Amino acid sequence: MTSDTLELRATLTSARVQGTLVRVYSSVESGWAEGFVVDIGRDSLLLCLIADLIVYNGFQAMRLADLSEVQAPAPHAEFVERALALRNETRPADPPVDLSSLESLLWSASAIFDLVTIHREVVDPGVCYIGSVETIGREGVTLRTLDADARWDEEREIVPLDDITRVDFGGLYEAALSSVSAAG
């Protein structure tokens, strides 16, 4: 591990222990994510996300190697935390997601949440796959995907594990897709 990686890990660990809101920047996509550190694995970070509307918005797992910067506390953290409290926003319970490997992350997240969102920012920026994990093998993870109208696609999507940069789950959009799909 480089000294930069060790410093980022130390900052994230401290933020997790202290319950500090963080802002993380990725080297593979523009923008940032804000949230509370849920867990730090050998190769990945799990955040409880805060959306721009200052509401909890599920969880995001990302590769530690892709992090370019961590701000702890995040800019305007006091305001965000106060707004969450005044709006009676309750932080969701930390899910028991296994960060020991990408395969374990995908299986454990899909066992808890109906849908996962897989991002491949290096290979296909701006495109994501939302669905349920069916299998994980040598070729990658096989997803039964939903389209933007919450209809199940006929064909399965196989995403190579090495291409996956981020996995989201338990968010508002995933919940909306799941509800509409289940309602028929």
Q: How far apart are CA 18 and CA 4, in angstroms?
A: 21
Q: How far apart are CA 138 and CA 127, in angstroms?
A: 22
Tell me the per-residue pLDDT of 121-175, one tens digit each, with 9 for 90 and over. 999 998 999 999 999 999 999 999 999 999 999 999 999 999 999 999 999 999 9
CA within 13 Å, CB half, 8 = 23
Provide the whole-model pTM. 0.95
Q: Which CATH class is domain 1-91?
A: mainly beta
How many other CB atoms are found less than 10 A from the CB of residue 81? 19
Strands 56-63 and 166-169, sheet pairing? antiparallel
Domain ranges of the chain: 1-91, 95-184
User: What pLDDT score does 180 carry?
Assistant: 97
The answer to whether domain 1-91 and domain 95-184 are alike in fold is yes
Q: Which alpha helices (H) appear in 31-92, and where do they start and end?
A: 77-86
Q: Which CATH class is domain 95-184?
A: mainly beta
> Six-digit token pair at 80?
């965000």
Q: How far apart are CA 150 and CA 131, in angstroms?
A: 10
Q: Tell me the average pLDDT across 105-118.
A: 98
